């Protein structure tokens, strides 16, 4: 049953409204603005009936307090006929409607029903939007494609278990974000999340990084050091580019996975570790096994639950939400910048192949935000390589769909190349021709054929 707060200093009005609404609403009555504010804070109502003119504090103060709430319940102002102007002012400040005293019972009941229905609908819309947003997001992972929804499902299924997970995918697809989501969705979420990029550590140091070392274990070991396995005790250890591990380290790593016990380099004491391992690679580990570069037994120990991240080019419906997310992050970082993406910019982003995947998209948006002017990030604000490749892809699609002939697409492509070379050379035709590896005379002929005229020659 919806809750209605009545704020009026006249006992008769409060009682009349309570009797009028008792079968449809839970009515809370307040005889002053102070009492109304207390009731508002204690139990937020679904609707407020408010008299503006009361002894002491003005009803406008309560109206201002309501406007600051999220969501703000609708307010119907109760006013005498001679103070209708005040009621209109209240509507300008956020009141939903007003009725004059003495009010017509049926008309007031209809207003209340309509506003409550509208408020309930608005809340349902918010709830559905939140549900859709939750469906398209898991931690810092974003995506509305079927492929990403399958990954969300896999993460939620595997996270509560102790199973080792192998995340595969090209560089920049977000493998570490998957590992982080697995950790955050697991019972280990309060424990440490420790990362190690195996490709970034020299082979001579990787064993010490993983297992730690005792003082004097080697020349530079001036003190005992705890390795990543020990640091991740009670939590999750994420090993990125695990395919880069040297053969000798692979054997010791396999033993640690099997026995849940390690020894520091130069040490003789076994140390028990409670660690959940998530590994990632952009290599084809099965091929590495077949070629003898990766231990087969270690591969099977890591590949208990495989999660394969597709490249961004195979899930283009994820490009827009990702770009909008990165736009918001970039604005926060830069402290200014466009608030939205134009349709042309979105189309260009969706046409570009993104060989660097999500990481390349994030960098492109950050760069565009830093350099763009205006409230909308447009196609021309995008990095030149993105814009150029997008234009080529757009021409290809236009030819395949029949919107352009091959000759028309060829002409447009040639024109785009000429303009890019000329603009990058400040319209110096000699330098532009050198960039294109053609003669200046050939450049001039092509400009004439494409209808390109230097800015200082226009008009």
Q: Is 278 left (phi over 0), alpha (psi -120 to 50) or beta?
A: beta
How far is 449 from 35, CA to CA, in rounded Å? 80
Give the three-state DSSP class for 161: coil
Q: Label residue 207 exposed, middle or buried (CB < 10 Å: 0-12, 13-18, 19+).
A: buried
Given a contact cutoff of 8 angstroms between Cβ atoms, the answer to whether 152 and 182 are in contact is: no
Residues 6+ apart with CB under 8 A from 437: none
Q: Which residues of the chain fall short of a pLDDT of 50?
A: 458-459
What is the CB neighbour count within 10 angstroms for residue 384? 11
pLDDT confidence of residue 458: 47
3-131, CATH topology level: Rossmann fold (3.40.50)
Residues 6+ apart with CB under 8 A from 356: 171, 172, 363
Rg (CA), the chain: 33
**Is 314-457 CATH 3.40.190.10?**
no
Give the three-state DSSP class for 425: coil
- Same CATH fold assignment for domains 3-131 and 141-310: yes
Q: Which ranges of 278-341 would DSSP assign to H, the alpha helix?
A: 285-290, 296-302, 319-334
Reading the block at residue 31, the tokens are: 């005889």
> For 289-400, where are the E strands, in sequence order?
305-308, 340-341, 376-377
> How do 137-138 and 97-101 pair as beta strands?
unpaired
Q: What is the dihedral of CA 183, 184, 190, 192, to 10 degrees?
A: 40
pLDDT confidence of residue 58: 84
Given a contact cutoff of 8 angstroms between Cβ atoms, the answer to whether 87 and 79 are in contact is: yes
Domain range summary for the chain, segments of one domain joined by +: 3-131, 141-310, 314-457
How far is 241 from 200, CA to CA, in rounded Å? 9
| Beta-carbon-side half-sphere exposure of residue 185 (alpha carbons within 13 Å) | 22
What DSSP character marks residue 111?
H
Give the three-state DSSP class for 80: strand
Listing DSSP states for 188-205 in one string gives: TTTS-EEEEEGGGS-HHH
- 307 forms beta bridges with 167
> How do 193-197 and 26-30 pair as beta strands?
unpaired
pLDDT confidence of residue 459: 43
Residues 6+ apart with CB under 8 A from 221: 208, 213, 214, 215, 265, 266
CB under 8 Å, gap of 24 or more: what pairs does 208-211 form?
Answer: 208/265, 210/249, 210/252, 210/253, 210/256, 210/262, 211/252, 211/256, 211/262, 211/263, 211/264, 211/265
Reading the block at residue 342, the tokens are: 């134009």
Given a contact cutoff of 8 angstroms between Cβ atoms, the answer to whether 195 and 236 are in contact is: no
Q: Label residue 443 exposed, middle or buried (CB < 10 Å: 0-12, 13-18, 19+).
A: buried
Q: Which of 308, 214, 302 is nearest to 258 (CA)?
A: 302
141-310, CATH topology level: Rossmann fold (3.40.50)
Q: What is the pLDDT of residues 67-82, one digit of tens each?
A: 888 778 899 988 875 6
Q: What's this model's pTM, rounded to 2 decimal places?
A: 0.63
pLDDT confidence of residue 417: 79
Q: Which ranges of 53-104 would DSSP assign to H, the alpha helix?
A: 59-67, 84-92
Given a contact cutoff of 8 angstroms between Cβ atoms, the answer to whether 6 and 49 are in contact is: yes
Average pLDDT, the chain: 87
Q: What is the pLDDT of residues 244-253, one digit of tens each?
A: 999 889 999 9
pLDDT confidence of residue 241: 95
CA end-to-end distance (rounded Å), the chain: 73
């Amino acid at each position: 049953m919806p809750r209605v707060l009545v704020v009026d200093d006249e006992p008769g009005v409060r009682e009349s409204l309570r009797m009028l609404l008792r079968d449809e609403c839970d009515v809370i009555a307040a005889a002053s603005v102070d009492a109304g504010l207390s009731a508002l804070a204690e139990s937020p109502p679904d609707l407020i009936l408010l008299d503006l003119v009361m002894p002491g504090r003005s009803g406008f103060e309560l109206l201002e307090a309501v406007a600051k709430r999220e969501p703000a319940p609708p307010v119907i102002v109760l006013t005498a006929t001679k103070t209708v102007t005040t009621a209109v002012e209240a509507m300008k400040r956020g009141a939903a409607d007003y009725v004059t005293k003495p009010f017509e019972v049926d008309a007031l009941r209809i207003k209340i029903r309509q506003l409550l229905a509208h408020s309930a609908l608005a809340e349902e819309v918010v709830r559905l939007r939140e549900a859709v947003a939750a469906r398209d997001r898991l931690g810092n992972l974003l995506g509305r494609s079927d492929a990403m929804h399958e990954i969300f499902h896999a993460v939620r299924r595997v996270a509560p278990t102790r199973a080792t997970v192998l995340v595969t995918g090209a560089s920049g697809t977000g493998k570490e974000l998957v590992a982080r989501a697995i950790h955050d969705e697991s019972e280990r979420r309060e424990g440490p999340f420790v990362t190690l990029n195996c490709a970034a550590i020299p082979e001579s140091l990787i064993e010490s990084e993983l297992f730690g070392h005792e003082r004097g274990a080697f020349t530079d070991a001036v003190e005992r050091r705890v390795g990543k396995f020990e640091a991740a005790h009670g939590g999750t250890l994420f090993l990125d580019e695990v395919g880069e591990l040297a053969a000798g380290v692979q054997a010791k790593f396999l033993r640690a996975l099997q026995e849940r016990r390690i020894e520091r380099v130069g040490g003789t004491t076994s140390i028990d570790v409670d660690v959940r391992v998530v590994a990632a690679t952009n290599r084809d580990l099965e091929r590495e096994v077949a070629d003898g570069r990766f231990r087969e037994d270690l591969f099977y120990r890591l590949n208990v639950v495989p999660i394969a991240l597709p490249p961004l080019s195979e899930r283009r419906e994820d490009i827009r939400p990702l770009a909008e997310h990165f736009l918001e992050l970039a604005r926060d970082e830069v402290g200014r910048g466009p608030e939205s993406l134009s349709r042309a910019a979105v189309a260009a982003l969706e046409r570009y192949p993104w060989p660097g995947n999500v990481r390349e998209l994030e960098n492109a948006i950050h760069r565009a935000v830093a350099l763009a002017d205006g409230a909308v990030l447009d196609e021309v604000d995008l990095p030149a390589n993105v814009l150029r490749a997008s234009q080529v892809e757009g021409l290809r699609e236009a030819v395949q769909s029949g919107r352009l002939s091959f000759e028309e697409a060829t002409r447009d492509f040639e024109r785009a190349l000429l303009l890019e070379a000329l603009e990058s050379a400040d319209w110096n035709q000699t330098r532009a021709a050198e960039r294109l590896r053609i003669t200046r005379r050939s450049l001039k002929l092509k400009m004439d054929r494409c209808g390109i005229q230097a800015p200082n020659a226009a008009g």
